[in-house]
Amino acid sequence: MTDVTLVYPYFHPRVDTSIFRFPPLGLGYIAAYLKQNNISVEIVDCTFLSQEQALKKITASNPKIIGIQSMFSMRKKSLELAQALRGNCELLVAGGALPTTEPEAFLDDFDVIVIGEGEQTMLEIAKQFKNGGSFSDIRGITFKDKTTGQIKQTLPRGLIDDIDVLPPPSRELFENYSYQKYYDEKFGYKTTAIMTTRGCPFSCDFCSRPIFGKEFRARSASKVADEVEEAISLGYQQNMVC
């Protein structure tokens, strides 16, 4: 049995003409942080799966907690997966840009909504769930009280000031072979994404500012270089890693 299975519900829609495909770095960071704290975790990236394949893979991991990322373009699929997976785990958690800005819209299908950065919050959710503690003590979540039906939003969680304290994303849990094959066929090289900073002072509608805020925070050069080396060791090409 897996403590937490994290799901990236991206299924290539017919209207999407973008040729770019990127691994879910946000879930990779959460997975790494959970693993660092002895929580077993799997990632199911739906980018190269059908919905039926994704559901089989998620249920095969036998998770206690399922966490599903969502943003505007993934809203429908994240809700569909939550509805289909009800009964296959003990707790359904939503996180990401859209749940952060519209948490109440997800409470019919999810038990807990993570607001903002997810590493510390998901760890506390996993620990409280395991120990039978109260979600009311966890900062940065919205949930519906099972007894009263009342929607409760806890105190906000501050941003992580020093993002170097976070371990690098758990790239071994990504679909590395599929991403490398895809990029090799499209461009003739194997590339991947690396997150070097968090936060932005600008207000673009399409970005992750709801999660990472407006305060610019950078990782150290040595941490970034270590992650580049790890990506290369997994088969990505040195001169094309960005």
| Confidence grade of residue 18 (pLDDT, cut at 50, 70, 90) | confident
Q: Which amino acid is at 132?
A: G
Over residues 93-152, the pLDDT tens digits come to 999 999 999 999 999 999 999 999 999 999 999 999 999 888 999 999 999 988 888 999
The pLDDT-based confidence of 242 (bands split at 50, 70, 90) is: very low
Radius of gyration of the chain (CA): 18
- Write the CATH number of the domain with boundaries 2-153: 3.40.50.280
Q: What integer pLDDT is reported at residue 201 of this predicted model?
A: 87
Residues of the chain with pLDDT > 70: what percent? 97
CA distance 101 to 12: 24
Q: What's the pLDDT score for residue 240?
A: 45
Mean pLDDT in the chain? 93
Average pLDDT over residues 168-188: 95
Q: How many Å separate Cα 3 from the centre of its chain?
A: 15
Tokens of 46: 């739906």
Rounded to two decimals, the pTM is 0.94
Domain chopping of the chain, boundaries = 2-153, 163-240
pLDDT at site 238: 67
pLDDT of 77:
96
DSSP string of the chain, one letter each residue: -EEEEEEE-----TT---------HHHHHHHHHHHHTT--EEEEEGGGS-HHHHHHHHHHT-EEEEEEE--GGGHHHHHHHHHHHTTSSSEEEEESHHHHH-GGGGTTT-SEEE-S--HHHHHHHHHHHHHT--GGGSSSEEEE-TTT--EEE-PPPPP-S-GGGSPPP-GGGS-HHHHHHHHHHHHSS-------EE--SS--TTSSHHHH-SS-EE--HHHHHHHHHHHHHTT--GGG--
